Amino acid sequence: MSDNKPLIGFVVVEIGHSVAAPYAGMILADLGAEVIKVENPEGGDAARGWGPPFVDEMGPHFNAFNRNKQSIAVNLANTKQRDALKTLILERADVVICNLRAGSADRLGLGSEALLKEKPALVYCELGAFGSGGLLSHKPGYDPLMQAFCGIMSVTGENQSRPPIRVGVSMVDMGAGLWSVIGILASLLKRKETGNGTRIETSLFETAVAWVATPVARHMMGGGRQLPQGSGAAGIVPYQAFFTKSGWLVIGAGNDRLFASLCRVMGCPELANDPRFVNNAARVVNQLELIPLIEAFAAQFERHELADLLDQASIPNAPVQTISDLVETEHTQQIGLLQGPRGRETVGLPIRFNGKRPDFNSPSPSLGADTDRLFGAYYERQN
């Protein structure tokens, strides 16, 4: 077993689409599992068409989350094809990831209850929209809907007078994929001891609520209405972007020691002992008096000049970069996060084993590329 491919030998069947389930499947594939992606023969995963741009008829979402996988085209309404998939699962799969609409898998005979009854060692992950057991469990869901419903949009953006803002990445979808992987890995560890599989449940709703844990805690503690903070963070000051002569720079003086260092850099060491700013709680209460002082100081410098001053004082800071800036940053290149062929590069797993990141083996597959190979033996037995 390779140090950076600890899941070699495990087989995962991914009955999913869009982002959440494919992201979970990709993580497992990068870790060495054989991941078989199930797609509708009529167009495949909808994410294939989410673009432009397109490369090999695949949009960015599909390219980003489906590397190192195999693809089989299965019409789940077709009994023969559905039976072939079920046989594949029962004969080979260690794990099933399923995020079909609530109730669909059960009606097709591919739900956790039916499959675990026939294969008790199976680890079955149900990745839903609103989760089971509630009034909304029947409803479908997507990332922006959950960002809206679960309050993420209410604490994102500049102020209440502006339209709602979605976090610009699929944080809820990808987070649900991560929770799926955590549950799967924990269940595989348990199975090693007991021989038994399990049914795992997670959902976009539960993930989104988990991401607002701090605003929920603040609300429950009597903190009042939770509001958007722009580039800042509620409860920490100064901890936001400041405009310089050549762009925005985020300064994170998140404790009293760092704030005192910032005051010295600003040439105003006495501010650290000012009763209005003497600790973080005071700075939060009096931020409308403090922030303009830092803004005026930052505006005197080129961004790189201010960053150098802050670095010398060990004060955390970072420029607000574009995606292009990020990709071209030397550090990004040096740590090997971008993997794959030119024009199809994707972001590798943010984890290393003994210094080595899981390898890129193959780009996202064409629709149904592995159907004949994986279903051929089953069809031969039927004939």
Q: How far is CA 371 from the centre of its chain?
A: 29
Q: Residue 86: name the closest of 13, 26, 21, 22 by CA.
A: 13
Give the C-alpha separation, 37 to 18, whole Å: 12
Catalytic site includes residue 370: no
Q: How far is CA 195 from CA 121, 130, 190, 220, 315, in A?
A: 6, 30, 8, 42, 51
DSSP 235-247: TBSSEEEEEETTE
Q: Which of 45, 94, 173, 308 is catalytic?
A: 173
CA–centroid distance for 336 within its chain: 19
Taking residue 32's Cβ as centre, other Cβ atoms within 10 Å add up to: 20
Q: How many residues does this entry show for the chain?
A: 383
Amino acid symbol at 234: A
Distance separating alpha carbons of residues 21 and 125, to the nearest angstrom: 10
User: What is the number of alpha carbons within 13 Å of residue 232 lying toward its C-beta?
Assistant: 19
Are residues 125 and 183 in contact, defined by beta-carbon separation less than 8 angstroms? Answer: yes
How many other C-beta atoms can be found within 10 angstroms of the C-beta atom of residue 367?
20
With H, G, I as helix, E, B as strand and everything else as coil, classify residue 279.
coil
Of 189, 184, 198, the residue nearest 121 (C-alpha): 198
Omega cis (within 30) before 358:
no
The long-range contacts involving 75-84, CB below 8 angstroms and separated by at least 24 positions, are: 75/40, 75/41, 75/42, 76/40, 76/108, 76/110, 80/382, 81/375, 82/108, 82/109, 82/110, 84/375, 84/378, 84/379
Q: What is the rounded distance in angstroms from the CA atom of residue 1 to the CA atom of residue 10?
A: 11
Residues classed as catalytic:
173
